[in-house]
Every structure is written in structure tokens, then in C-alpha cells.
Amino acid sequence: MDAQQRLYWRRRGVWGKLKKEALYLFHQLL
């Protein structure tokens, strides 16, 4: 259970980073 939770949060962190970078690039293009 603990390992699964850690993996879940790490994945969330990665997704948050990707979303932030995607938004940044999107605004740079506009």
C-alpha cells in the first residue's frame, strides 16, 4: 500500500510538471 501511494504521488507530481510546462509553451506560442 505504501509503495503504491508513493508511486501515485510521484506520478501526480510528474503530471503537474508536464501540465505547467505545456501551459508555458502554449503561452509562448500565442
Compute the C-alpha angle 16/12/1, nearest 5°: 170
Q: Supply the pLDDT for residue 1.
A: 63
pTM here is 0.51
Q: What is the CA radius of gyration of the chain?
A: 13
Question: Which triple of cell numbers denotes residue 13?
Answer: 507530481
* pLDDT higher than 80, residue 12: yes
**Span 19-30, mean pLDDT?**
93
pLDDT over threshold 90, residue 19: yes
